[in-house]
Amino acid sequence: MTRENGVEAARYGRVLLKLSGAAFRGPENGGIHWPTVQRIADEVRDATLLGVEIAIVVGGGNIWRGREAAAQGMERAAADYAGMVATVINALALQDALEGKSVDTRVQTAIEMREVAEPFIRRRATRHLEKKRVVIFGSGTGNPFFTSDTAGVLRALEIGAEVIMKATDVEGVYDSDPGSNSDAQLLREVSHFDVLNRDLRVMDATAISLARDNDLPIVVFNMNVAGNIVKSVSGEAIGTIVR
């Protein structure tokens, strides 16, 4: 974290925050946990006060999981499109929470829903960011068979973000699954290549490959720790950096 005239300042000028659908359910098993959304909005607001431009890609797994629906017999493309709609529900919830805290916000979607959101237009999204509006991207890439993680990397590259902030429910990237291995070690820094080669499951392989090919760093941190969004955009050494 740096300071300018005694005031904390962000390390990054423009970031993309990737929020999974699980981030919206809080302690619940599914759906949207409003106190959790309010807490996320508080932290995003605090990060914007540091001067950082923030875009957000949201998942929809708290409402719908396309792969699970496909495994039960639903046609995969249709299941994925339903999942894209679910991400828009989360995006609108987060927009409402942010605007309730006086944060100017726009939702853009890859699938047109003009009554509730703007269509994704790269130049318009960039202009919103320049005007210090938070831009929330919904409906993934607009294509089935691609995850919201891949959408996050794609949108980050399109808007010229310096880094992706991947918010998870663990401290960062481990050398093995901490849920099944009590001796799993937290990795403070790892390369894109090692993530792919060791199958560390930070993001899906398509997202990691795209980030690697474009030299886009990824910071992975625990969003359940209060203040971590601000710490991450301020450049504090939390979680894991993939670069």
| Grouped pLDDT means (10 residues each) for the chain, 243 residues | 48 94 86 94 95 96 89 93 96 98 97 95 98 97 95 98 92 84 88 92 92 96 90 88 93
DSSP structural state of residue 59: -
43 located within any domain:
yes
pLDDT value, residue 9: 60
Tell me the pairing of strands 240-242 and 218-222: antiparallel
Total tally of structural domains belonging to the chain: 1
143 located within any domain:
yes
Tokens in use for 66?
């396309």
Q: What residues make up the domain containing 118? A: 12-242
Q: Which residue has the tokens 């050398």?
A: 175
Cα dihedral across residues 150, 194, 232, 222: positive or negative: positive
CB 117 within 8 A of CB 92: yes
188 located within any domain:
yes
Q: Which residue has the tokens 């392989």?
A: 205
7 located within any domain:
no
CB 37 within 8 A of CB 77: no
185 located within any domain:
yes
Angle between helices 148-159 and 205-213 (to 10 degrees): 20
CATH value at residue 203 = 3.40.1160.10
User: How many DSSP H helices and E strands does the chain contain?
Assistant: 9, 13
Closest CA to 186 of 168, 173, 196, 200: 173
Tell me how far apart the alpha carbons of residues 203 and 201 are, in angstroms, rounded to a whole number. 5
92 located within any domain:
yes
Tokens in use for 193?
């290549």
3 located within any domain:
no
CA angle, 177 as apex, 38 and 241 as ends, to 5°? Answer: 60
CB 60 within 8 A of CB 149: no
Tell me how far apart the alpha carbons of residues 48 and 45 are, in angstroms, rounded to a whole number. 5
pLDDT value, residue 66: 85
- The residue count of the chain comes to 243
Q: Which residue has the tokens 């046609």?
A: 75
1 located within any domain:
no
pLDDT value, residue 8: 53
- Compute the 3-state secondary structure of the chain and give helix, strand, coil in percent, each to the nearest 5: 35, 20, 40
